[in-house]
Amino acid sequence: MVALGKSMLAYGCRPEDFLWATGIEDTFVAQEAPGQRRLDLYELQQHYHNWRQDLDLAGELGVRVMRYGVPWYKVNPAPGRFDWTWTDRVLTYLLEVKGIEPIVDLVHYGCPLWLKDEFMNPRYPEAVAEWARAFARRYRGLGVRYYTPLNEPFVNAEFCGTIGRWPPYLQGDAGFVRVSNQLCKGIVRTVEVLKDVDPGNILVHVEATGVELPLSEGVRPRAELDNLRRYTMLELVQGRVAEGHFLYAYLKGNGMTAADLAWFRERRISVDVLGINYYPEMCVRERFQEPPEAGGAERLRAIWGGGRYLQQIVRDYWRRYRRPIFITETSTNAKSGDRQAWLEESVAAVRQLRSEGIPVIGYTWWPLYDLINWDYREGEGPVRQYIEPMGLWSLEPDAAGELHRVPTPVRDLYVRMVATSPVGWIGGQEQKHA
């Protein structure tokens, strides 16, 4: 059963051209080390056991699409070997029983355990392409046609290359550029093989967004650089970086070669749909300098960005890339903001953007239910200590450690919005086309 009657690329700004969505947090960093536990969110959130119930919850929302990740490290436990047992059951149920089309996250952080040095393994671009080809061949007949090659490449490069929190633990700008080079070559190869398997496959490129606001002239250069670095992956995979480009000096100065840049220009891909992830309490940060007596270091602190910066970011990406835009993640936690208020404010922001003719074709409240904070990986406590209250359903542990899905008021509001409030309408009038 195929839930959508047309390709996502045909969606624009008409009332019917809008897709409500959800997703389950699906980070997979399986490598363990002293002081670092396996971070498999499907495992920690008990989705492997409760997958049928969880997909039933998604069905209750009335959504037609759902971002859904597959654990590369589990399904592909050795080079050339695949175990499709679990994904066969889940994807068949999602498509044929629930009538929901998945946007498949092929890589939502992390590599298989057999790929030593992870993203820096010289074979990584080909290994991830082989994974993509095997998956697409198997599920083409089921009707899977939407893919995210790599979720949030910028955050991948930051965590794995800049701050050294995740494997392969590189640091600094040189680490960021080295990891970015590998990630982007993997994205290009993934797109190539997915289009080879089926030219009708649609790629939803999901990126983390953000803005740095300098509070003094002294910190402005780094803030401006960081704001530009956000576009690294989209600029590289589209083959835009050459001499004179705004990232050229930064990339060359941190280890990317002329041959690397030529490779991207020769193999450049187009972006089908641009996925934007935005969290109002995390994505806008102020850069400031400590006073001399405190060390004088440059620091960042998050501020509430709200709908204003969501609109600013979407407008900027639309001006740069002119591709259909999908809000692929947004929400807030109960500690930072009122979830119902943010749902209403963010949907109002999308409505405004569509009224301007910007084809924001979808909105995703992420996640379906509360997630387990990534701090679990470096922590020692039980799972219940790391529950992040962001979902449409809350995760509530019982004495035995079972995580029960309990509906929240924001879930009820989301259901009503999906059923009765298409953002394509303003005051009962149809919007103009993009």
What is the model's pLDDT at position 423? 79
In what helix (H) or strand (E) does residue 397 lie, and over which residues does it extend? strand 393-397
% of the chain beyond a pLDDT of 90: 91
CA dihedral 133, 134, 138, 142 (to 10 degrees): -40
Residue closest to 186 by CA, chosen among 159, 160, 150: 150
Residue 327's domain comprises: 13-422
Residue 7 domain-assigned (yes or no): no
pLDDT tens figures, 32-79: 999 999 999 999 999 999 999 999 999 999 999 999 999 999 999 999
Residue 3 domain-assigned (yes or no): no
Residue 1 domain-assigned (yes or no): no
Buried b (16+ CB within 10 A) or exposed e, 14-42: beebbbbbbbbbbbbbbbeeeeeebbbbb
pLDDT tens figures, 149-187: 999 999 999 999 999 999 999 999 999 999 999 999 999
> Residue 43 class from Cβ within 10 Å (0-12 exposed, 13-18 middle, 19+ buried)?
middle
CB atoms within 10 A of CB 134: 18
What is the model's pLDDT at position 433? 38
What is the model's pLDDT at position 15? 82
* pLDDT tier, 4 (very low <50, low <70, confident <90, very high otherwise): low
Alpha helix positions (H), 292-338: 306-321
CB atoms within 10 A of CB 428: 5
Are 126 and 189 within 8 A, CB to CB? yes
Annotate 257-303 with DSSP letters as a single string.
-HHHHHHHHHT----SEEEEE--TTTSEEEEEE--GGGT--EEEEEE
Q: Is the pLDDT confidence value at 427 over 60?
A: no
Task: Give the pLDDT mean for 308-321.
Answer: 98
Q: How many domains does the chain have?
A: 1
pLDDT tens figures, 217-234: 999 999 999 999 999 999
What is the model's pLDDT at position 421? 72
Residue 181 domain-assigned (yes or no): yes
CATH at residue 293: 3.20.20.80
* pLDDT tier, 428 (very low <50, low <70, confident <90, very high otherwise): very low
Residue 90 domain-assigned (yes or no): yes
Residue 167 domain-assigned (yes or no): yes
What is the model's pLDDT at position 353? 97
State how far the Cα of 347 lies from the Cα of 345, in Å rounded to an integer. Answer: 6
Tokens, residue 386: 């790391």
In the numeric block, the tokens 């004088």 are attached to: 296
Residue 427 domain-assigned (yes or no): no
Residue 431 domain-assigned (yes or no): no
How much is the pTM?
A: 0.95
